[in-house]
Amino acid sequence: MASAAALLLAAAVVALLACLALADPPASEQSALLAFLAATPHERKLGWSASTPACAWVGVTCDAANSTVIKLRLPGVGLVGPIPPSTIGRLRNLQVLSLRANCVSGAIPDDILRLSALRSVFLHDNAISGAIPPGVSGLAALERLVLSHNNLSGPIPFALGGLAARSALRLDGNRLSGKIPSIANPGLKVFNVSDNRLNGSIPRALSRFPADAFAGNLQLCGTPLPPCSPFFPSPSPAPGTGPSDGKPPKKKKKVSTAAIVGIIVAAVVAALLLLLAILFCCKRSQRGARVDGAKGTAAAATGTTRPPASSGDGTGTASSPKDDAGTSGSVAAAAAGGGTGEASRLVFVGKGAGYSFDLEDLLRVSAEMLGKGSAGTSYNAGEECVSQC
């Protein structure tokens, strides 16, 4: 009886091993892998064939029962181009995806982000472009996300802060911009966002990582990097968070745009008023100079000494113009030339040449100015001068 039982047990084990050897993932998963390989150029031959079990293919790992694919590792096999949609995304039980060190380009397909069992994604050292899709928040079981050294751009999604099970996040060597979201995850052991275009202050929850994890971002500041400048304040905390001491944050006084514009306008108006005042003073000074010059010229032409009486030859001046009222004629006043050294004097021409008149006598009558010349100004006093002077 004992020998019969042993034989039955051995037969059962052999049958089980045979079943396991013949087990294979579903046909949908096998066709998804073949479609991925056919649509993606690759340098190395992988030897995938529908005539062999998929669990035995290079880079493909199945579960213990060989019933489904749980890992796909194809590092450095020369894959070129984008990941075709509806290929890898059909591996519903996939836990590990590694396509590192290839030439994979394009964006990350959305169907990969719907693999709820995915725990590790290694896509670093490729040419993947575009933004990190927000759908990454749907990977609830994700623990390691490595997207280093690609061409990713745009901000880091805030959804990454909600993945509590994550232990490694590497986004270094891309073109990511904007601020770093606060990731308050004590289980995060590996973090690196260096060599990007990030700005703002480093969240307090991530300040425990070394400076190398943030290096290469010129506009990034805060612990462990140098402190932020007071002219570029730190971003406001997320809603529901506040300072650790419980005190309300102090409001910083900032000069409003309207105040700056008002200051500029006031300065311009003051400058214009000052310029107008200067121009007014200059005009007034020039006008005063012209008036003083005209007065000086009149004084030089009229303010003279009375010349001595002539010898009575008919061309000189008499000693008393008021003694004889019967004489009339034309009177000309002129300044003597500066070259003769004589003072300015009044010269009388005509019938009144034999008499001497001063300026006061001439001002009492209505004299008529005949003209101005190089020798002085000429007046015509006529008969009125003889009768009144």
Read off the pLDDT of residues 128-166 as tens digits, 9 standing for 90 and up. Answer: 999 998 888 788 889 999 999 999 999 998 888 766 557
Q: Starting at the earlier edge strand, list the strands of the sheet with 60-62.
A: 60-62, 69-73, 96-98, 120-122, 144-146, 168-170, 190-192
pLDDT of residue 335: 38
Measured CA to CA in angstroms, residue 165 lies from 145, 188, 321 at distances of 11, 8, 129
pLDDT of residue 186: 84
Any idea where the domains of the chain sit in the sequence? 20-221, 304-389
- Mean pLDDT for 170-190 is 92
**Per-residue pLDDT at 36 exceeds 90:** yes
**Per-residue pLDDT at 63 exceeds 60:** yes
- Mean pLDDT for 342-371 is 58
pLDDT of residue 161: 73
- CA 30 to chain CA centroid, nearest Å: 54
**Per-residue pLDDT at 238 exceeds 60:** no
pLDDT of residue 350: 56
- Mean pLDDT for 194-216 is 95
- Mean pLDDT for 77-98 is 95
User: How confident is residue 10, by pLDDT bands cut at 50, 70 and 90?
Assistant: low
If we measure between CA atoms, which residue out of 156, 154, 200 comes closest to residue 175? 154
**Per-residue pLDDT at 381 exceeds 70:** no
Backbone angles phi, psi at 144, to 5 degrees: -130, 125
Model pTM greater than 0.85?
no
Torsion of CA 91, 152, 42, 62, to 10 degrees: -20
- Mean pLDDT for 358-368 is 62
- Considering the domain 20-221 in this protein, what is its CATH number? 3.80.10.10
**Per-residue pLDDT at 4 exceeds 50:** yes
- Mean pLDDT for 178-184 is 90
**Per-residue pLDDT at 93 exceeds 90:** yes
Which residue carries 């290929």 as its tokens?
Answer: 87
**Per-residue pLDDT at 272 exceeds 50:** yes
**Per-residue pLDDT at 92 exceeds 70:** yes
